[in-house]
Amino acid sequence: MDKIKFFTVFAKKYRRFLYLIHGIPSTGIMSSGSPCHVEDPTIETTHGDVVHPCVRFIEDGFEGHQWWLVYTPLYAGDDSLENPRLFYSDAKVGQIPTEWKFYCMIKDCPRYGYNSDPTMLFKDEKLYVFWRECDTPTTKKQGCSHATMGCSVKNHTVTYFTTPLMTEGNPSDDKEVCPTFISTIETLKAYAMHLHTPVPKIINFLPSKVGSFIYRHHLLAIAEGLGLYDSAKSRGVAVWEGLSFEKSFHYKKTAKFKNVSSLYQPWHMDIFIGMMNGKEMLFAIIQSSIKFADICLAWSEDGENFRFFNKPLITSRNIKMDGLYKPTALVVGDIFFLFYTARDNNDHHLNKLFVTSMKWSSLLQQLSK
């Protein structure tokens, strides 16, 4: 058994022990579901890799299609491939959307830096697509490290907005990770993970050879996998507000997650609207950690403060796949659809897209037990 495989097996067993200590179920309440087939126009370089999916359902349709998907590839961790592209599905009512057709590229690879975290919103008969740029010519021009950019799409044509919606100048304290946009009667809101990613202070006091040894042998990654160290700490949900997608939003506040296990450091999320207890509320579908993640659900009654349900929806153990990454979810009728990516069991460089579903009322009932 090679070192990587040995560590993976050991880490899984150790994580089960941590789950027991923290009182978290090691299996989720949803099934693994079905794999999705995505018509990849760059399969020679991206190998069909899918990460950062965002799925939206447009009841009256947009250009004849109800289901829409935007994502970025990241095969073998190559961020030069992480460029958003748009797809649609023509799944009928009652069908699960597993077949996705290519619509158009949203943004090509920048000269330097990379794109990430795409999301969508359909409003006023327009489909808006957003993504983050990290250390690109755009962010350099804006004098920041990260910026959330946007565009509108129509007839396979992309119209870019020149003004960033959100910017972040502090790369170690990022308030716009994996944003989601929601339209309310009064304003436009954006929700993003607020992450703090400090370099461990002890590294600065160690001899350079020791620090080099730690990074060369991935000791911090090993400590993170064992739950002994977190490379990114969650501050909670950053709330932004704006009046137009062609103007800058302003940062309002960061609200800490409630009822979240200390084993988790929420990493990426998507926001959707659903009904609970007869009220319309916001829900967050969350990747619980960077590594060895679960997919969890949280809810908010006031539109700002999110509380975790006690049980995960999906864990690596119950789907028999590792590498769970950013999920996206929505409720159509009374059916909850959860899309997520996981690492292929035969190619650990490849992330595949899956979809699972469950009656929304039944899901809430199981989460509340």
Q: What is the pLDDT of residue 3?
A: 58
From the list 335, 298, 295, the residue with the least C-alpha distance to 319 is: 295
Check: CB of residue 345 under 8 Å from CB of residue 323. no
Q: At which residue do the structure tokens 């799409």 appear?
A: 153
CA angle 311, 334, 359 (to 5 degrees): 40
CATH tag, 3-197+232-368: 2.115.10.20
CA distances from 303 to 95, 185, 287 (A): 31, 13, 19
- Token digits of residue 348: 């650990």
Q: How far apart are CA 10 and CA 312, in angstroms?
A: 22
For 292, residues 6+ apart whose C-beta sits below 8 A from its C-beta are 11, 12, 15, 225, 316, 322
Q: How many CB atoms lie within 10 A of CB 208?
A: 8
Q: What is the pLDDT of residue 87?
A: 98
Q: At which residue do the structure tokens 């940062």 appear?
A: 251
* DSSP per position, 225-275: HTTS--SSEEEEEEEEEES-TTS--EEEEEE--BS--TT----EEEEEEEE
Q: How far apart are CA 278 and CA 350, in angstroms?
A: 41
- Token digits of residue 112: 């330097």
Q: What is the pLDDT of residue 69?
A: 98
Q: What is the pLDDT of residue 292?
A: 84
What is the rounded radius of gyration, in angstroms, for the C-alpha atoms of the chain?
20
Q: What is the pLDDT of residue 216?
A: 52
Check: CB of residue 273 under 8 Å from CB of residue 281. yes
Q: At which residue do the structure tokens 């999916």 appear?
A: 53
> Left (φ > 0), alpha (ψ -120 to 50) or beta: where does 117 sit?
left
Q: What is the pLDDT of residue 14?
A: 78
Check: CB of residue 95 under 8 Å from CB of residue 79. no
Instruction: Classify strands 166-168 and 188-196 as parallel, antiparallel or unpaired.
Output: unpaired
Q: Would you write out the chain's pLDDT as a tens digit for each of its 369 residues?
A: 465 566 667 777 777 788 888 888 888 999 999 999 999 999 999 999 999 999 999 999 999 999 999 999 999 999 999 999 999 999 988 789 999 999 999 999 999 999 999 999 999 999 999 999 999 999 999 999 999 999 999 999 999 999 999 999 887 899 999 999 999 888 899 999 999 986 555 555 556 555 565 555 455 566 666 666 566 789 999 999 999 998 999 999 999 999 999 889 999 999 999 999 999 999 999 999 988 899 999 999 999 999 999 999 999 989 999 899 999 999 999 999 999 999 998 998 999 999 999 999 999 999 988
Q: How far apart are CA 311 and CA 291, in angstroms?
A: 18
Torsion angle in degrees (nearest 10) through CA of 257, 166, 339, 52: -110
- Domain borders along the chain are 3-197+232-368, 199-231
Q: How many CB atoms lie within 10 A of CB 44?
A: 7
Q: How many CB atoms lie within 10 A of CB 285?
A: 24
